[in-house]
Chains A and B, each alone.
Chain A
């Protein structure tokens, strides 16, 4: 449509393209960060994410095969556009070598959980043992009243097992937080798990 600005004829779009920010989809993001293992690097990364107003759902750090280089897997729930900004800001940090949001690429996720379950009766012990076997967990400590179980897997598997163990009474639990890695292409095509 045509409009005039002063004397000049100007064609304008009827509805201006919406450029409002902070309106992406809110969901869980998995961010991989390769960092130089310097003092304070964890604090720097955590401060940056917290400074944008986001809570870190899980964070795991460990050395890689390269000396002095660590890998972090950060899970954070947030708006796509703002997470994109967080990723860009993480890239700017002097000690980061590589940052990648792998949420939308095929990737493998794992978490390790230790859970201490109340098992005072032999019936409870049998039941728990069966559940552990089904989920390919391991019993790593036994006491007259408890089993301590180790299990690794993705979020769904772990949650499903914990749900089944809940009725027995969970006395203690520790989770490592996720580690995640991008799948290589040939595995992706072969649809392996």
Chain B
């Protein structure tokens, strides 16, 4: 049956199970939008900026584990979505981006709204395609979904020239088998090498001071059950990265919570003093390791990751295991059980856990509350309480993101959706909208900073239009807070261009866009507005929390320094307290 290229696009998307597309139309993609209109089988969310569409697709994908789909026109439409593509690439988010392109015969002529988006996105996509022939259109789209969602997930871009969306063809949609056959060089390893697993088992049983270091790969692989089983079986404390949050419940007695630059004292001390570090779906990012020479200096390292290129990239590891985290952990547990799951040095292991308990008591996550001025941490704690710890939290990027990571406890995977790798300000609101559309049954709280929020705040209109009841808490310190913090600590308080005291009235702004707006200026108002906000079910709520301007995110490992150089929650250095530590 002959049909237009545009119809083939929609048909193939439906075959892939796509139920929602985030996008914004334009000249080069109009045929596909026309087909979408005529078909009516896929919901479309009209973002107000292509960057918003991209982050919405990311938020949807991060919240559901399904592939997020975004669609834009050529030229500026395509370049506007470059940031979310880079963001998805850094955080391994499965996403397919469809861009319109000028007609084939005009490519390379500097035509109206032409850019070489395939060239531009080459280093920030897992793969990308320019469609040159209508008969390859369905195969390419299916390849894009297969590549985006398997192995280490990532964004894939498909650029479709306008004439191809207009031509007619009777090409069939290929089966998954045919798709795999057409990708002979693409074979993700999932199983894990059994010899390496056996080596890992030996190290785990012999270790005196083991620590699990868990990243986003564990979330992508849905490996919570296996992680809990392994940790409990062998009594191993578990630290997670921001991407790994929720992979291991943070209220579990073995939880060390977050490690790294803004990690807990006890997580960082445990990692620093460990003799075995088991990295699970994590990539030794510099925000985690700090100074690489002094990262877990005494530890042997086991690294489980689906991406072979992630292994020994930043740190040379002792036992590399390439495979799907869930499959490898299951094999590891089985092998441990087969060997009796015995700990060679049970007394040392007990002492280790006792020591960690001491560290937890010595420096818990804390802050100095106030009755006069709202502390940002207090806002997060109150959000935790009103949502019973069950909401999906989507932060922007900055101080508020770290407070959201610290003062809300996460218990399930895909509960904390943040821009970890790229650190994209403006990620919060649109990603929150995407998350709420993907998981309507969950309360979705965007915790944003005032600086981050204004970067994509036009998407409030999108949330109003589609009645997406996302809750937005702006932690408003009228600064680019994280930059200010660094300027305070490392640039002698020279606050260069970080003052945002001229901001819009967020309450009026919300109302102007059709949302509900609240403001709290005193601590006692915080709980009141949160409770009011929880009652709103048919539109977004924007809450402006005017907080202490100069509050800092602590503890902190200064950039390029080691864990033992941590600045503690009271602003003092950890040096005096770590005299008895290794090194």
Residue from B186, B308, B582 in contact with A5 in the complex, judged by beta carbons closer than 8 Å: B582
Verify if B340 is at the interface (C-beta below 8 Å from A): no
Chain A residues engaging chain B, CB cutoff 8 angstroms: 3-13, 16-21, 35-36, 39-40, 43-44, 47-48, 51, 81, 84-85, 88-89, 91-97
Q: Which residues of B contact A94 (CB under 8 A)?
A: 126-127, 147, 183, 185-186
Q: How far is the CB of B202 from chain A (nearest CB, A)?
A: 18
Residue from B123, B185, B316, B581 in contact with A51 in the complex, judged by beta carbons closer than 8 Å: B123
Please provide the chain B residues from 119 to 151 with a CB less than 8 Å away from any CB of chain A in the complex. 119, 122-123, 126-127, 130, 132, 147
Q: How far is the CA of A18 from the CA of B307 in the complex (A)?
A: 24
Residue from B309, B348, B359 in contact with A91 in the complex, judged by beta carbons closer than 8 Å: B309
Pair B273/A10 contact, Cβ less than 8 Å:
yes
Pair A16/B122 contact, Cβ less than 8 Å:
no
Closest-by-CB residue of B relative to A9 is: B351
Pair A21/B309 contact, Cβ less than 8 Å:
no
Pair B307/A5 contact, Cβ less than 8 Å:
no
Pair A36/B184 contact, Cβ less than 8 Å:
yes
Q: How far is the CB of B363 from chain A (nearest CB, A)?
A: 13
Closest-by-CB residue of B relative to A8 is: B351
Q: Which 3 A-B pairs have the closest CB atoms?
A: A16-B297, A8-B351, A88-B309
Closest-by-CB residue of A relative to B289 is: A19
Q: Which residues of B contact A5 (CB under 8 A)?
A: 273, 355, 580-582
Closest-by-CB residue of B relative to A92 is: B309
- Which of A19, A44, A96, A97 has the most C-beta atoms of chain B within 10 angstroms of its own C-beta? A19
Query: Could you list some 27 contacts between A and B, CB below 8 A?
Result: A4-B580, A5-B355, A5-B581, A6-B354, A6-B359, A7-B351, A7-B354, A8-B355, A10-B208, A10-B209, A11-B208, A16-B293, A16-B297, A19-B292, A19-B295, A35-B185, A36-B184, A40-B130, A43-B119, A43-B122, A89-B309, A92-B307, A94-B147, A94-B186, A95-B185, A96-B185, A97-B185
Please provide the chain B residues from 546 to 568 with a CB less than 8 Å away from any CB of chain A in the complex. none
Q: How far is the CB of B297 from chain A (nearest CB, A)?
A: 3
Q: How far is the CB of A3 from chain B (nearest CB, A)?
A: 7
Pair A19/B352 contact, Cβ less than 8 Å:
no
Verify if B11 is at the interface (C-beta below 8 Å from A): no
Please provide the chain B residues from 180 to 214 with a CB less than 8 Å away from any CB of chain A in the complex. 183-186, 208-209
Q: Which residues of A contact B358 (CB under 8 A)?
A: 6-7
Q: How far is the CB of A127 from chain B (nearest CB, A)?
A: 49
Q: How far is the CA of A95 from the CA of B186 in the complex (A)?
A: 8
Chain B residues engaging chain A, CB cutoff 8 angstroms: 118-119, 122-123, 126-127, 130, 132, 147, 183-186, 208-209, 273, 292-295, 297-298, 307-309, 312-316, 348, 351-352, 354-355, 358-359, 580-583
Q: Which residues of A contact B355 (CB under 8 A)?
A: 5-8
Pair B582/A10 contact, Cβ less than 8 Å:
yes
- Which of A7, A8, A17, A88 has the most C-beta atoms of chain B within 10 angstroms of its own C-beta? A8
Q: How far is the CB of B380 from chain A (nearest CB, A)?
A: 30
With A21-B316, A92-B309, A94-B183 known as contacts, the answer to whether A12 contacts B582 (CB < 8 A) is: yes
Pair A47/B292 contact, Cβ less than 8 Å:
no
Q: Which residues of A contact B315 (CB under 8 A)?
A: 19, 21
Residue from A47, A81, A84, A88 in contact with B122 in the complex, judged by beta carbons closer than 8 Å: A47
Q: Which residues of B contact A95 (CB under 8 A)?
A: 185
Q: How far is the CA of A17 from the CA of B314 in the complex (A)?
A: 15
With A7-B354, A36-B184, A95-B185 known as contacts, the answer to whether A85 contacts B309 (CB < 8 A) is: yes
Pair A97/B184 contact, Cβ less than 8 Å:
yes
Q: Which residues of A contact B580 (CB under 8 A)?
A: 3-6
With A19-B315, A91-B309 known as contacts, the answer to whether A13 contacts B122 (CB < 8 A) is: no
Q: How far is the CA of A12 from the CA of B295 in the complex (A)?
A: 14
Q: Which residues of B contact A48 (CB under 8 A)?
A: 123
Q: How far is the CA of A16 from the CA of B126 in the complex (A)?
A: 37
Q: How far is the CB of B302 from chain A (nearest CB, A)?
A: 14
Closest-by-CB residue of B relative to A89 is: B309
- Which of A5, A40, A43, A97 has the most C-beta atoms of chain B within 10 angstroms of its own C-beta? A5
- Which of B123, B183, B184, B185 has the most C-beta atoms of chain A within 10 angstroms of its own C-beta? B185
Q: How far is the CB of A32 from chain B (nearest CB, A)?
A: 14
Closest-by-CB residue of A relative to B143 is: A94
Closest-by-CB residue of B relative to A15 is: B297
Closest-by-CB residue of A relative to B351 is: A8
Closest-by-CB residue of B relative to A88 is: B309
Closest-by-CB residue of A relative to B316 is: A19
Closest-by-CB residue of B relative to A98 is: B185
Q: How far is the CA of A95 from the CA of B359 in the complex (A)?
A: 50
Q: How far is the CB of A99 from chain B (nearest CB, A)?
A: 10
Q: Which residues of B contact A3 (CB under 8 A)?
A: 580, 582
Q: How far is the CA of A6 from the CA of B266 in the complex (A)?
A: 13
Pair A19/B293 contact, Cβ less than 8 Å:
yes
Q: How far is the CB of B346 from chain A (nearest CB, A)?
A: 13
Closest-by-CB residue of A relative to B362 is: A6
Closest-by-CB residue of A relative to B311 is: A88
Pair B308/A88 contact, Cβ less than 8 Å:
yes
With A6-B355, A47-B123 known as contacts, the answer to whether A16 contacts B185 (CB < 8 A) is: no
Other A-B pairs, 9, CB within 8 Å; known A3-B582, A5-B582, A97-B184: A5-B580, A6-B580, A7-B358, A8-B352, A8-B354, A40-B119, A40-B130, A91-B308, A94-B126
Q: Which residues of B contact A7 (CB under 8 A)?
A: 351, 354-355, 358
Q: How far is the CB of A60 from chain B (nearest CB, A)?
A: 20
Q: How far is the CA of A12 from the CA of B209 in the complex (A)?
A: 11
